[in-house]
Every structure is written in structure tokens, then in C-alpha cells.
Amino acid sequence: MNIFIILGTRPEIIKMSPLIRECEKRNLDYFVLHTGQHYSFEMDKAFFDDLELPKPAYNLEIGSGSHAEQTGKIMVGIEKVILDEKPDVVLVQGDTNTVLAGSLAASKVNIKVGHVEAGLRSYDRSMPEEINRVVADHVSNILFAPTELSKQNLLKEGIEESKIFVTGNTIVDAVFQNLEISNNKGNVLNDLKLKSKEYFLLTFHRAENVDNREQMSKLLKGISMIQKEYSMPVVFPVHPRTEKRIQEFGFSLEDITSIRPVSFLEFLQLEANARLVFTDSGGVQEETCILGTPCITLRDNTERPETLEVGSNILAGVESDRIMQSAVKMTNGKKSWNNPFGDGKAAEKIIDTLIIE
């Protein structure tokens, strides 16, 4: 079997890393394509090095663009590789334009598609990610659902049960594998002069929070209130695009400790040792749940409802009062929960299923 793994963003690299390692471990016939959806491959080389992964066989260097432009370019590039390589199955992960393009390109030339992390739903069609994940699920032949809840989402939409396999989420594999690598490489807390459980961690990047001046104003006001109430640093690795918007809007970060973007390995250490994490990222909601760190999501919905059910996460939106109330609740709330995303063997189960199918 020849397995074609497609990825294009750093979260995809992270969540596909256990699958790449499993293919390497079993000496399987596979290859990786990097679309370059968010970053050039040149910028991501260090990322592959940090995670100790082999370099992709192909990179498309697509870069940024409108949703249609980006998706179209990726489809054209992937189709050429499929026709040349003739893989038996294409694996895509998550809900990016890379996932949409990869699943469409493969299905149109009758190549099997396996969707890793299938069945997630926010039920908010204004989010491009929701469109991408729904389309990818409905053109895929094999759907790797991370939880029973995501399986039920797929069944409700009429997808045949025989196509769905509950495997757990590869993020559990990735967090445990990569945290071990991280701890062997250094200590970012020492570098930043932080003490475990004596700081908050902030991250936000979604368009609805970054591109909307009013939204960002409320969000930053809420975080400022938190800092003043608890007198603990709020550490904020600022994405270049977010930093640009902050400057354009004329906002001050005087109550927030803004730092350069950190590597994923450093970020894992920051997540694991934070008192609370404030985020609008779906991946961070999962990672904090796995690491045992309480999370406050700066959105009104989530495609990770399992985190709400076990009590590791709470939806706060961006209203400053709600952010403050959520911080009080999570600070005083339960300190442990059961991880709903599996046992850390998702990659093994996915590869086993591919071989059988």
C-alpha cells in the first residue's frame, strides 16, 4: 500500500506527526506533501527538524490568497502528484483549505480518501473551517472519528457506519511524543523567568477576533482585567498577523507580556505549566485538556464539545465580564478530568485500519 499524507499548516504537521512516525516504524511505503498553505516550506523546515520528522517529498509553496484561489492552486498541485505517484490512499487531517483541496482532488480521480479527525462540528457555517470539514467528510471513503460524539455527528448526516472508525485523536499521541522531545531540548520557563502555575497563557488568531476592532478591544480589556485581578503575568506569543492588527487598531499591550512566536515544543511546555490558558484555537482546547490545564475559549461555540463536557474548558466569548467570570470559575473549579480524546494510540489504530481496508 502506498500512503499519500497531505498537510499544509503547522497544526496539521503536529497532528500528522504520529502517523508519519508510525509509517516510519513499520517501514511502510508512504510520502508526504506540504502545500505551504500558511507558511513557505523554507520557514517550516525548522518545524520538521524540531519534531524530528523526515522532510516532505513534495512542497507546493502555495502561500496565502483568497479561499478560492488557495484551494484551487492546491487542488491543481495535488492532482499532478496523484497522477504521477498513483497512491492507494490519501490522508488529510482536520478542516483547512488543504484538507478541502486534497479530499476533492483525490476523490475526483477515484483515489480513496481517509479523513483524520472526521466528524467535528461547530454548526456555524460562517466559519470556513466548518465548510471544509463537512465537505471533506462527505467525499471521504474512510472517516477516522476521534470520539463517539464525532461518530454520531457523521451518522446523523447519513454517512454509512461501515466507513467510520473511532480511533481517538492523534493530538494525544502528538502531545505525549512531542512533550518528551521538548523536555529533552530545553526549558522555556527558565528562559522567560516564569514559575509553573504562576502565569496565564494567551493565544488568539481567528479572523473574527483579529480583524474586528470591537471584538479585539473587548477581548484585550477582559485579559487586562484578569491580569490586574490576579497580579500574574499574561504571556502572549503574538502571531505576526495579530501583531499587525494590534498596531493598526492602536491598542496597547501594557498589561500583557507579549513575546515572539514560540516553537510548538516550547508552547507545549507553556501550556502544561500555565495556571489558565485563554485561546480561540481548537487545537489548544484539545492540548490543554490532555495536559490537565484549564482552558477558557474566546469564542461562542466550539467543535470540541467534549472539553466542555469533562470540565476542562469553558466558552467565554470576548465580552470582558464573561471572560472575568469564566476565569474565576475555572480557577476555583475542578483540577482534574478524564481525557476524552483517546489513549495515545490513534496513529496505530489508523494505520491498522488502512491496512485492513
Contact by Cβ (8 Å): 226, 324 = yes
Which H or E element spans position 230?
Answer: helix 213-230
Between CA 234 and CA 219 the distance in angstroms is 13
Contact by Cβ (8 Å): 342, 159 = no
Nearest to 105 by CA among 136, 133, 143: 136
Which H or E element spans position 92?
Answer: strand 89-93
Between CA 182 and CA 187 the distance in angstroms is 8
Between CA 233 and CA 277 the distance in angstroms is 12
Given the C-alpha cell 451518522, which residue does it identify?
A: 155
Query: Maximum Cα–Cα distance for the chain, whole Å?
Result: 60
Cβ-based burial of 156 (10 A; exposed 0-12, middle 13-18, buried ≥19): exposed
Count the Cβ atoms, other than its own, within 10 Å of residue 276.
Answer: 22
**What's the grid cell of residue 317?**
466569548
The answer to whether 205 is a known catalytic residue is yes
Task: Please calculate the CA angle 226-192-46 and round it to the nearest 5 degrees.
Answer: 115
Cβ-based burial of 258 (10 A; exposed 0-12, middle 13-18, buried ≥19): middle
Between CA 284 and CA 58 the distance in angstroms is 28
Helix (H, G, I), strand (E, B), or coil: what is residue 55? coil
Helix (H, G, I), strand (E, B), or coil: what is residue 3? strand
Task: Point out the catalytic residue in the list 67, 138, 205, 239.
Answer: 205
Looking at residue 41, its amino acid is F
**What's the grid cell of residue 35?**
502545500
**Catalytic positions:** 205
